[in-house]
């Protein structure tokens, strides 16, 4: 009597086993990928600003503290001497900072400041610069949040108030969230450098906490 051949049956069993293992690996990979996708990603914020955000004789600046205290992914594009119209050493103005910030792919572009624009005798150039910032963010699809310049004592100089009012007007016209920072001023002389050129590290901490509170209220988290 001839013994039946079993090799084909064994081969089929081996193939079935390989397919089962492959399917299990694929399923595990899919679950892992789905798990990564379910992990909430931090809010990505790009900061556009002036000396206060860039730092003046500081060991730490408020954008860094903002990231540490909130868990948000914060990129700081601020430059000294920058403003809506003020251009620092050239290419520093807020509109140019927005160009660079957009390259980071942020969820939010947060523009803070404007003190360097106080040297302009009228609000015209400031409004033009603010409109350029708004237009670029709208075209780029990023959400824009704007905080005006702050101060450290009262009464607030008319030049600072002029900048704040000009930027508020542009933001309001475009439906952009704007936060005034001069009524009352967010800082005091106690947290300013001796020459009043900028906030101390303690002042940077005050700015970080105040800005975080407002941004949380705006984004709902």
Of 152, 177, 162, nearest in space to 117 by CA = 162
Confirm if 168 and 178 have CB atoms less than 8 A apart: yes
> Is the same domain home to 190 and 107?
yes
> Is the same domain home to 112 and 15?
no
| Of 40 and 95, more confident | 95
Asked if residue 72 has pLDDT above 90, the reply is yes
Counting the structural domains of the chain, the total is 2
> Is the same domain home to 76 and 131?
yes
DSSP run (H or E) holding 110: strand 108-112
> Is the same domain home to 191 and 214?
yes
> Is the same domain home to 23 and 60?
no
> Is the same domain home to 123 and 215?
yes
> Is the same domain home to 141 and 83?
yes
| Helix extents (H) in the chain | 7-38, 51-54, 62-70, 94-102, 124-140, 158-174, 201-219
Backbone phi, psi, residue 132, to 5°: -65, -40
> Is the same domain home to 23 and 52?
no
> Is the same domain home to 64 and 6?
no
> Domain range for residue 92?
44-219
> Is the same domain home to 23 and 130?
no
Tell whether pTM > 0.95.
no
> Is the same domain home to 48 and 115?
yes
pLDDT of residue 40: 80
Asked if residue 219 has pLDDT above 90, the reply is yes
Per cent of the chain over pLDDT 90 is: 81
- The token pair at 148 is 């005006």
pLDDT tens for residues 178-199? 999 999 999 999 999 999 999 9
């Amino acid at each position: 009597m001839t013994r039946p051949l079993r090799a084909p049956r064994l081969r089929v069993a081996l193939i079935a086993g390989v397919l089962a293992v492959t399917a299990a690996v694929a399923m595990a990979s899919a679950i892992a990928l789905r798990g990564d996708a379910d992990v909430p990603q931090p809010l990505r914020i790009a900061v556009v600003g002036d000396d206060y955000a860039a730092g003046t004789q500081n060991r730490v600046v408020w954008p860094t503290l903002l990231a540490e205290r909130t868990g948000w992914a914060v990129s700081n594009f601020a430059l000294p001497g920058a403003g809506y119209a003020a251009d620092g050493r050239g290419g520093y103005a807020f509109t140019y900072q927005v160009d660079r910030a957009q390259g980071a792919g942020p969820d939010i572009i947060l523009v803070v400041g404007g003190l360097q624009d106080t040297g302009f005798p009228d609000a015209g150039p400031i409004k033009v610069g603010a409109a350029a910032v708004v237009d670029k963010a709208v075209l780029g699809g990023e959400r824009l949040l704007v905080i005006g310049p702050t101060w450290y004592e009262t009464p607030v100089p008319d030049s600072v108030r002029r900048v704040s009012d000009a930027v508020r007007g542009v933001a309001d016209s475009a439906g952009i969230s704007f936060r005034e920072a001069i009524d009352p001023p967010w800082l005091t002389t106690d947290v300013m450098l001796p020459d009043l050129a900028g906030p101390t590290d303690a002042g940077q901490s005050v700015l970080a906490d105040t800005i975080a509170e407002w941004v949380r209220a705006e984004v709902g988290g």
